[in-house]
Structure 1
Amino acid sequence: MPLPELPAYKVLLTIFVLWWLLPSNDYQTQSVALSDLVVSRLSHYRACLDVLNTTRWGDFAPLGAAGNDSKGNDNGDHASPRYVNLTGFREEDRFSWQDLGRFRERGLRLSHHAMPAVGGEQLWDVGEGAPVWANASGVLLGQWVRLQESEPRTYDSYNLSQSVPSMHWIGDKTEWGRNVTGGTGRIQVRLTGNETVTAYDQLPKTDAPLSGGSIRNVKAVVTFEDTGGTGLSWEMVLFGAHWPRQGVVIMTTTSEKFDGIFGLPHLTPGPDYFQSSQRLLNQSLEQTIAAKEKSIYSDQSIPWKSNFDNPLHTRSPSPHCEYVMYVQIHPPSRQDLGLGPTVSKGEDVAEMLQAIESELESPLGAPIKHIPKLQMSAVIYSPDCNIFLETKGPPDFPASEADHLLGVKIEVQISSINHWLLAYAVVMFGQVVLLKGQIRETYTPSTLARASFWTISMMLIADGMTFTAAASWVATAHYTFLPTLTLTFASFMSMTIGGSLLAKIYEVQTPAPRAGRDGPQAADGRNSGSASTATSTPLTPTPDGTGTGTAPAAVTTTGPILPGPVTAGRGLGDPAVANLDAAANIMDGASAVPGVATPAAARLAPPSTPTFQSLMGRFLLLGALVMFIGGSSIAWYMTVRSWFLNICAFVYLSMWIPQIHRNIMRNCRRALKWQFVIGQSVLRLLPLAYFWLKPDNFLLTRTEPRAFAMLALWVWVQIFVLATQDAVGPRFGIPKGWMPDAWDYHPVLREDNIEAGGLPIGLGVEDSPARDRRRSSEDKDKVGLGGGGSTRAIDCAICREVLEVPFVKAGEEDMSVTGVFARRAYMVTPCRHIFHTPCLESWMKFRLQCPICREDLPPI
């Protein structure tokens, strides 16, 4: 017996679920065959560490031994250039080190500007400048500008196969990665410092600049956005050292063609920085290499990787531009600390900063009035691509235009993320409350048939994506575990409740088999061909609401026919709804409608109709695909990524379009509660408003206020259309040929039809002539018809109250808006009975039968 063939989406769904459930181990797919490459690289790292241990300040002088002074500045003598035996620092590597002295000089210039001289003396040079943040961990955002390089370099300037022959380079003869070509752009820095601080003895003041007597390891994730050039963005990881007292951070990338971390001390501003960073790196690099040697077969990742795309050792790397970064942390201003312009007695800024940092790292409940912003300035230098960048700000640019790198400390960032995750969870709980309220309103087959399947589906897909992202993050979340868990629960509740509502809608709107829809009596009626009955072919309803034509039962016309469009169909409008309502009527004791009641087996969905479970599988794959493409869009061009995200948001916020379409097809004025429509619109706009409007959002994404304004306007246009459908009718202003026929419960009643008997029962001359009266001017103002007319009164069979029905004079047309609103007060059934609109709408929530004659009614 052959095995049944599984659909493709089920296979993909199974693979996705297995991938999601399997443990995420960075080393589970590593190959033992790469162990020899790892051994070779670790041996190379050992040799580099030996070079770092044996070199001294001044051993690396590419501009000449006498060409650099103690601060690394070029003094014009270029005799006897010196190199060290590190990849990228050798003469045969042909790196462009002509701007090394300029890099040091620009870095010192930024430091001196951040900590100006006091009394004509530069205290920063001797390690006595203004106090700064001791822990520089934080998230910062700013702009960069490109400075003129001394010598342009391209990939043709290098021969990587000669300088690093052990590697088989891919793409070394094409444009390298991270090659910034524009003149300006954005820069994001996520700085993380080691908690362990190492103390050391400084050199004498004659060897200034001094480094402050303490040092720690630091790591940064830097993202460049080349807005003025290629339009791409690059993300890279830099490792280096941080001198807390001076507020100086020097970092570099490391790769197969550049041993940046081993040569970092040679790039520092002076000998004191060199000897302190050399001691720190000797200890930390030794520990890292020893740990890697013990786990060669289980851990084959690059210890100081700068590229997220290649986390493992490979024989065929792709070259990228290497970068060295000098960062100066600015001291907080007195205004940011809440202090006055003058120094008061006993005031110690260093103690205040230490108290704030201590409370942020280990909260004890100490009062903190205000946490100052974290500010830095930086200069970035690429020795191979010869790129020279600097953050935009004073003294070259006014502070009103840009102020270098601005951000917050990592503890403040984590607190902000927790607050926004909790706020998002509250938004999701608000959606749950609205869904519960809508379920209480939409609980009968008649009301379920009005709601659009695809409107609720779009909401469900978005909630499912939120749940998937939160559930994936909560497993690895440390500082944000509880808020993420709360968001996971809230999104799960919204997804579950929305899925239950969607399942009920699909059950009602799924087409039944033709034999079940027609029934034996209906089949006999089609074959009899009786001239006294009017029949029509029922349309197949689908979840998208396109097949919503009427399916009238065979009814004998014994009285006068109402004028069009009152005669536009008789009987049931939705076969699936009629079947369920008939079953409900039987349970309530009412008689079954002929031609509707069928066996349960006949009401099963046809084989061609997809099951609800299969649709949920497709929705899951669609959400996974959108999340995958959205994650990969980080490496796209910024314009393309912006268009992609805006298009996704536009499609997502078009959730009311399917409901508008279904209202038109079914001639339904209102299917959902206004609290649900407005509430869902506002709640689903709020998360987008945070990322589209707030510049310092925790993802540091680029704001687009114009795009958000267009998205919000688009949502409110849809709400306006829904309100117009509720007020003047769903088919107002739409050509008749564009939609199927449907029963009009609010027809125009004319005086010239009184004698012909084409009016609802009880309003004709033969029914109640004594109650006919001409409308006075007071009645005219009360009813509000545009032209002259009359009214007739009749008792509503549901509420037993008087119903006044307006008429239009013979030969006149009522095209006024006030006339449209006046007709909303009454509803006329196909069996010519008339009721108050609220009365009949409330009745039809439970039964699609006339309250008087029990004839089947088309849904509204």
Structure 2
Amino acid sequence: MREANTSSTRSRISFYSISLLALGDGFAGITFLFVGLAVRGLWINLIATAFLAFLSVMFFGMRFLLDIWTAQAPERAIRAREEAEEERQRQERFRATLERLRAEQLQREAASAETPDSPVTAVAQPAADIDTLAPPPAHIDTASADSAPPSLPLPVTAQRPTDTGAAAVFMPSDQEGLVAAQTGTGNQIAADVDTSTTSFGSIYIRFYLVLFATLFMTLNAISWPTGLRRAYFTILALISLSFWVPQISRNVQRNCRKALTLEFVIGQSLLRLVPFIYFYAYKGNVLFADRQPYILIALAAWLWIQVVLLASQEFIGPRWFIRNDWAPPAYDYHPILREDEEGATMPLGLSEPTSNSAPTSPLLERRASLSSPMTRRGSIAKEAKGKGKRVYNCAICFQDLEVPVIEAGGSSDTTVAGILARRSYMPLFGGLDEV
């Protein structure tokens, strides 16, 4: 919570990962409470641990979840508007398809009525039907046809109103409560989606409902047959140790990294693996559970796979293990700079050596570095250019940064060293975080 004290950091953290961590603390606290009631000798120790677990959940975990929920409110609003727009477009496509099918059906009916199979059918046709097929008089417009009594049906050739799909906007005199409604088949889609429908209060209630439902299911599973009970506890352990999966998914979706510190990830992984080691590997555990080392190895391997993926997302990239079209497009904060592309329009703040400032000997170079800052910058730029880099002056911290630039005609460096070299800078205002 101390490290994630800004809105930008909280927006990168997965809400569901912290929820799983808080659920694990709450489940552990209630379990300690029940075990303390059963084992009198461990009453003080388990009750104190249960109190600390509840304190962690109620005052710290839920508070942190509230901060994350508040920081991610604009993102949910944008996603809700996109879903509403997709729903509106889907309904428009459905109505357009329905209108096209109706028009085709009317054309088929009109064609079959105008070309009868035999003259007898045409003579036997009722007069009312023939009148409906006849075109309306020239002096009768559509408005008069619409105002006709209900007993007289409209002609087949009469022009019918079409839905253009335009939204009707109603603006009051005080310009408050602006509503943009879409006219349709009885359903109106509001353009301004109310994001307060799922408030944090409902999330708070759902959290404790899931916690107590899992607890009662676990207490009931103790009396199940051995095979079914073992499968239930294995699935429950697998779900409880999958708390880094939502964070990995969020890093991929937002193309962000450094959401959680490695100390926090490794520390939480080790601490939450300890109870499973106790119950699955220690024979004399308090619940007299059977030793299951193979299941323990599988659970530990699954957890550390998540840790390795999180670490690789921070150093290599959030989307290195998936295809580009599997995730929504995102801005690349560490682009590959090429000399042929940057030569014509070099960024502002480039420090290039000039003929007047470049020293010609080590002695002159040292004197120049002590006397003139501009000459020293030119020497640094000349040295960096020999390493395949260029020196840029950061507009925020006013420091010279060496940025790797690929030479004209060269191929991009896709090795781990090349990727980490690009991580040392970030264009525009992102450079403040890196420096």
Scaled by the length of structure 2, the TM-score of the pair is 0.63
Instruction: Please say if 1:824 is aligned against 2:423.
Output: yes
Residue of structure 2 equivalent to 1:755: 343
Distance 1:673 1:683, change over 3 A: same
Q: Between the two proteins, what is the percent identity of the paired residues?
A: 36
Q: Secondary structure at the match of 2:249?
A: helix
Give CA deviations for 1:712-731 in whole Å, capped at 9, x if unaligned.
11111111111111111111
Distance 2:411 2:55 in 1: 53
Give the conservation status (yes or no) of the 8 Å contact 1:794–1:804. Answer: yes
CA deviation after TM superposition for structure 1 residue 732, in Å: 1.6
Distance 1:646 1:457 in 2: 20
Distance 1:777 1:747 in 2: 19
Q: Secondary structure at the match of 1:826?
A: coil
Give CA deviations for 1:756-775 in whole Å, capped at 9, x if unaligned.
31x53323989999759987
1:392-791 equivalent positions in 2, closer than 5 A: 439-471=1-33, 478-496=40-58, 497-511=60-74, 539=79, 606=194, 609-757=197-345, 759-763=346-350, 771=378, 780=387, 790-791=388-389
AA aligned to 1:763 is L
Distance 1:513 1:696, change over 3 A: closer
Distance 2:213 2:239 in 1: 15
Distance 1:802 1:461 in 2: 47
Q: Secondary structure at the match of 1:804?
A: strand
Distance 2:258 2:333 in 1: 14
Distance 1:680 1:686 in 2: 10
Give CA deviations for 1:372-426 in whole Å, capped at 9, x if unaligned.
xxxxxxxxxxxxxxxxxxxxxxxxxxxxxxxxxxxxxxxxxxxxxxxxxxxxxxx
Distance 1:792 1:837, change over 3 A: farther
Distance 1:795 1:639, change over 3 A: same
Give the conservation status (yes or no) of the 8 Å contact 1:511–1:540. Answer: no
Distance 1:837 1:811 in 2: 32
Residue of structure 2 equivalent to 1:34: none
Residue of structure 2 equivalent to 1:838: 434
Distance 2:409 2:64 in 1: 49
CA deviation after TM superposition for structure 1 residue 465, in Å: 1.8
AA aligned to 1:678 is I
Residue of structure 2 equivalent to 1:318: none
Distance 2:260 2:276 in 1: 24
CA deviation after TM superposition for structure 1 residue 462, in Å: 1.4
Give CA deviations for 1:95-137 in whole Å, capped at 9, x if unaligned.
xxxxxxxxxxxxxxxxxxxxxxxxxxxxxxxxxxxxxxxxxxx
Which residue, out of 392, 414, 418, partners 1:794? 392
CA deviation after TM superposition for structure 1 residue 794, in Å: 2.2
1:337-376 equivalent positions in 2, closer than 5 A: none
Distance 1:746 1:799 in 2: 18
Distance 2:344 2:307 in 1: 42
Give the conservation status (yes or no) of the 8 Å contact 2:80–2:193. Answer: no
Distance 1:491 1:715, change over 3 A: same
Deviates more, 1:609-618 or 1:464-473: 464-473
CA deviation after TM superposition for structure 1 residue 478, in Å: 4.2
Q: Secondary structure at the match of 1:721?
A: helix
What CA RMSD, in Å, does the superposition of the two structures yield over aligned residues?
A: 3.3
Q: Secondary structure at the match of 2:337?
A: coil
Distance 2:354 2:314 in 1: 32
CA deviation after TM superposition for structure 1 residue 463, in Å: 1.3
Give the conservation status (yes or no) of the 8 Å contact 1:509–1:541. Answer: no
CA deviation after TM superposition for structure 1 residue 472, in Å: 5.1
Deviates more, 1:726-735 or 1:606-615: 606-615
Give CA deviations for 1:654-708 in whole Å, capped at 9, x if unaligned.
1001111111111112101111111110000001110000011121111111111
Distance 1:452 1:473, change over 3 A: same
Q: Secondary structure at the match of 1:792?
A: strand
CA deviation after TM superposition for structure 1 residue 809, in Å: 1.5
CA deviation after TM superposition for structure 1 residue 506, in Å: 0.8
Residue of structure 2 equivalent to 1:809: 407
Give the conservation status (yes or no) of the 8 Å contact 2:350–2:393. Answer: no
Give the conservation status (yes or no) of the 8 Å contact 1:795–1:802. Answer: yes
Give the conservation status (yes or no) of the 8 Å contact 1:796–1:803. Answer: yes
Instruction: Please identify which structure carries the higher strand content.
Output: 1
CA deviation after TM superposition for structure 1 residue 493, in Å: 1.9
CA deviation after TM superposition for structure 1 residue 477, in Å: 6.5
Distance 1:762 1:633 in 2: 67
Q: Secondary structure at the match of 1:724?
A: helix
Instruction: Please identify which structure carries the higher helix content.
Output: 2
Distance 1:507 1:727, change over 3 A: same
Distance 1:779 1:511, change over 3 A: same
CA deviation after TM superposition for structure 1 residue 541, in Å: 9.9
Give the conservation status (yes or no) of the 8 Å contact 2:390–2:404. Answer: yes
AA aligned to 1:673 is T
AA aligned to 2:235 is I
Give the conservation status (yes or no) of the 8 Å contact 1:513–1:606. Answer: no
AA aligned to 1:481 is W
AA aligned to 1:644 is Y
Q: Secondary structure at the match of 1:793?
A: strand
Give CA deviations for 1:414-465 in whole Å, capped at 9, x if unaligned.
xxxxxxxxxxxxxxxxxxxxxxxxx111111111111110000001111112
Distance 2:210 2:76 in 1: 29
Structure 2 unpaired stretches of 5+ = 83-175, 177-191, 358-377
Distance 1:816 1:500, change over 3 A: same
AA aligned to 2:421 is A
Distance 1:828 1:721, change over 3 A: same
Give the conservation status (yes or no) of the 8 Å contact 2:316–2:420. Answer: yes
Distance 1:767 1:610 in 2: 62
Distance 1:717 1:793 in 2: 39
AA aligned to 2:431 is F
Distance 1:444 1:769, change over 3 A: farther
CA deviation after TM superposition for structure 1 residue 836, in Å: 6.1
Distance 1:512 1:740, change over 3 A: closer
Give CA deviations for 1:709-753 in whole Å, capped at 9, x if unaligned.
111111111111111111111112421111112221111000011
Which of the pair has the greater relative contact order for Cα pairs under 8 Å at 6+ separation? Answer: 2
Distance 1:762 1:720 in 2: 38
Structure 1 unpaired stretches of 5+ = 1-438, 515-537, 543-598, 781-789, 840-860
Q: Secondary structure at the match of 2:389?
A: strand
Of structures 1 and 2, the larger Rg is shown by: 1
CA deviation after TM superposition for structure 1 residue 509, in Å: 0.9
Distance 1:769 1:490 in 2: 69
Give CA deviations for 1:504-537 in whole Å, capped at 9, x if unaligned.
00111124796xxxxxxxxxxxxxxxxxxxxxxx
Number of residue pairs matched by the alignment: 305
Distance 2:66 2:193 in 1: 14
Distance 1:512 1:453, change over 3 A: closer
CA deviation after TM superposition for structure 1 residue 607, in Å: 5.2
CA deviation after TM superposition for structure 1 residue 813, in Å: 2.3
CA deviation after TM superposition for structure 1 residue 811, in Å: 2.5
